[in-house]
């Protein structure tokens, strides 16, 4: 997924003839703290709500003021991961998208969240298992083989390395709600299961079966 595919069709850009008050009104409506200033297709920079509050005459056109504008942007063919990195690093609520130095549109933080959720298959039914392992022990091919051997497949997978730990976490979403057999297989191969999340009904059924097995054991 690249930047041009997630451009907002709702949030507008400002012109130098627009007033600071108009900019603040739009920021409030669209719940952002920045807006791009564009003349024709030329991107002039981002203006923030703080910039506007610092103006002496916010009811005058923005172009009447001597602004030192912040000018971050991404290009139309940059991947969503790169877009997220820029927005996160600069603490922005939106980022302009340019192609051949022309302004194409902008991507809001909300657009990024929805698009990234799609990449992670958040809306797809399934369960999540989190593995904790040393970096040298990470093998996606082996993890996939274990999951597929249990008649399931990976919907999404990503890793994180907590600062306080020497190990990494592998967060996996699979296309089934009952991952009890997957968890058992991982444990058989000496994987450390840090956490797992299944559908509540499946969990209840699993706990009921374990309770019944335990009661049968006590009665023997």
Closest by CA position to 34, among listed 142, 119, 107: 107
Domain range list for the chain: 3-117, 121-219
Give me the phi and psi of 173, to 5 degrees please: -110, 130
Q: Distance between CA 48 and CA 7 in Å, rounded?
A: 20
- Whether the pTM exceeds 0.75: the reply is no
Q: DSSP string of 131-149?
A: EEE-GGG--HHHHHHHHHT
What's residue 196's pLDDT?
85
**What is the pLDDT of the chain when averaged over all its residues?**
85
- 121-219: CATH homologous superfamily? ACT domain (3.30.70.260)
pLDDT tens track for 190-202:
999 998 887 655 5
CATH, domain range 3-117 = 3.10.580.10
pLDDT tens track for 143-179:
999 999 999 999 888 888 877 778 899 989 898 888 8
Secondary structure (3-state) at 203: helix
């Amino acid at each position: 997924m690249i930047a041009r595919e997630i451009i907002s069709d709702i949030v507008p850009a400002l012109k130098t003839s627009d007033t600071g008050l108009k900019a603040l009104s739009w920021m409030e409506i669209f719940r952002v703290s920045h807006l791009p200033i564009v003349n024709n297709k030329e991107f002039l920079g981002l203006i923030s709500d703080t910039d506007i509050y610092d103006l002496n005459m916010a009811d005058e056109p923005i172009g009447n003021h001597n602004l030192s504008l912040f000018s971050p942007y991404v290009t139309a063919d940059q991947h969503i991961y790169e877009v997220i990195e820029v927005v996160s690093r600069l603490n922005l609520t939106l980022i302009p998208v340019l192609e051949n130095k022309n302004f194409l549109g902008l991507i809001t933080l909300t657009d990024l969240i929805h698009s990234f959720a799609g990449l992670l298959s958040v809306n797809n039914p399934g369960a999540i298992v989190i593995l904790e392992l040393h970096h040298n022990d990470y093998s996606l091919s082996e993890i996939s083989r274990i999951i597929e051997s249990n008649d399931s497949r990976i919907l999404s997978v990503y890793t994180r390395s907590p600062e306080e730990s020497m190990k990494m976490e592998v967060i996996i979403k699979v296309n089934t709600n009952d991952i009890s057999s997957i968890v058992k297989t991982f444990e058989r191969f000496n994987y450390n299961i840090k956490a797992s999340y299944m559908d509540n009904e499946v969990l209840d059924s699993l706990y009921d079966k374990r309770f019944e097995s335990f009661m049968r054991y006590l009665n023997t």
